[in-house]
A and B are shown apart, each in its own frame.
Chain A
Amino acid sequence: MVTATRRIAMSDLSRQKRLEAEVGTDGLSDRHTVGQAVEHYLDAMRIRQNGLRWTAFSRGVKLDSKTELSDIPEADREWTVMPEVSAGGR
């Protein structure tokens, strides 16, 4: 069986912190979930999780963190990773 190379690109909103991972060779497998891939990105880029809930978006749509990477369509391989977070003068 021939398996196509599966690459996932994860970045922040400004595209300055960007990680490209090949599924199967860069610490991620098809059985890993979106949530686990996001954790992999945060760790690799040394981004502190700060106890926040982190989410991946593709083409403006939030990805289910429990979806396995094998179920992610080819068109949804460019993710923007961000947390739910507040600002303020407090």
Chain B
Amino acid sequence: MEIELDQTFAYLHEVRREPDLTGMPLYSAAADGDVAELVEEASLWGVLAGRLPAAPDALQVQITPHWVREPIIGSLEITLAARRRGKTMRFVQRFPHGRWFREAQRQLQLLRDQKTVGPEETVYSMLLALACDRSSTLRLAPFPTPCIAARSLAACGVRTLGAGRLLADRPVLVNQTLIEDTLRKCCEADTRETGGAVLGQMIRLDQALPGTTTRIVTVLSASVDDHRHAGDTMRFTFDPAALAAAAQIAELRGLGETVQTVYHTHGWKNACGNCNQNPRCPLAEADPSLQDYQLIESLFPSKSTLLPIAGRKLGAPGRSPVLRIHAWRGGRLQAIPWQAYSD
């Protein structure tokens, strides 16, 4: 595939004491790689939304900064024009977030540990775009064709659809047994974390499901737990050999599944059970932590990856944990709606 990149900026991420460019930055690093990741996210978003072809002949990439005030960026707009068999499809997304946001959190912790920054002091993270007349230094990752099989829901074992709703441009179906297993494991493990591999596949249906705009659906069909994974409070370590074994189980099932992702829990206090209502609950909510980002970006580097987390969510009804599924949206992992199914 031929890729044409139209951008004339070099990107820099800085952490500063002031919300402008006065004084010296506390931290400064090149952020071209962070921006390149957004191009990949936009591309896969477009493909899964059915707005871009999966294997274009040529891809034109345009990156446009939207300023807070130049050179400070408020958001980046990425325009992709994919050409296939003489036809061009265009997809535009705006990204207010990116890896630099997470790096800023890490740097702030380091600066506080070093006592360079006080515990209550506010610092400002900013992405800068500096005009450059040299050719772009942005190294884009290869754009491999996503593994999406033309298959029916029935062939994936989907018999009836259950509770929940689908995101129009990223429909995700989750096996009811998987949901029950993860929530039960979360309760059984109490405040310790637990987790396992999640098998599934991305499929292309003949027709989009009602309420959706894409024929591509992600089906999460089963979880595979293994005693070699190890959890304690606020931490869960996946054993690579156990994940490799899960990949073999996926092959043996013969349904075209792979290990799509991993799930883990953020704990639940059975003795209290008030985790969803108590704003002072010390357990982390079922949102991705910085450690979770490192996990998912290392184990599953594709931006098509989903991240299921079970645990408490402040404001969620009831006295039991919830399962939240996160997808790459706008430069970060965001919880998306999904629908249960029975096999």
Partner-B contacts on A (CB < 8 A): 12-19, 44-48, 50, 52, 55, 57, 59-62, 80, 82-90
Give chain B residues whose Cβ lies under 8 Å from the Cβ of A85. Answer: 237-238, 294-295, 298-299
Our pick among A17, A80, A86 for the contact of B301 (Cβ within 8 Å) is A17
Q: Which 10 A-B pairs have the closest CB atoms?
A: A89-B284, A16-B302, A46-B141, A88-B235, A57-B244, A89-B266, A87-B295, A13-B259, A86-B237, A60-B248
Q: Do the beta carbons of B147 and A16 come within 8 Å of each other? A: yes
Q: Are the C-beta atoms of A83 and B240 separated by less than 8 Å? A: yes
* Count: A-B pairs, CB below 8 Å: 134
| B235 cross-chain contacts in A, Cβ below 8 A | 86-88, 90
Q: Is B135 an interface residue (CB 8 A)?
A: no
Tell me whether A90 and B258 are in contact in the complex, defined as CB-CB below 8 angstroms, given that A14-B300, A46-B36, A85-B298 are known contacts.
Answer: no
Contacts of A61 in B (CB 8 A): 244
Name the one of A18, A52, A90 contacting B298, with C-beta atoms under 8 angstroms.
Answer: A52
Residue of B33, B144, B244, B300 with most partner-chain A CB within 10 A: B244
Among residues of A, the one whose C-beta sits closest to the C-beta of B306 is A14
- Whether A87 and B234, one on each chain, are in contact in the complex, defined by CB atoms closer than 8 angstroms, is no
Chain A residues whose CB sits within 8 angstroms of the CB of B240 once the complex forms:
55, 57, 62, 82-84
Residues of chain B within 8 A of A62, CB atoms compared: 240-241, 244
CB of B152, distance to nearest CB on chain A (Å):
21
B contact residues, range: 35 or more
The CA-CA distance from A42 to B166 in the complex, in Å, is 34
B258→A13 contact, CB < 8 A: yes
A15 CB contacts on chain B under 8 angstroms = 147, 258
> Is B225 in contact with chain A by the CB < 8 A criterion?
no
**A87 pairs with B298, CB closer than 8 A:** no
Residues of B within 8 A of A88 (CB): 193, 234-236, 264, 266, 284, 289, 291-292
Since A16-B304, A18-B144 are in contact, a sample of 7 more A-B pairs with Cβ atoms closer than 8 Å, ordered by chain A residue number, is A13-B258, A46-B33, A46-B139, A60-B245, A85-B294, A88-B234, A88-B235
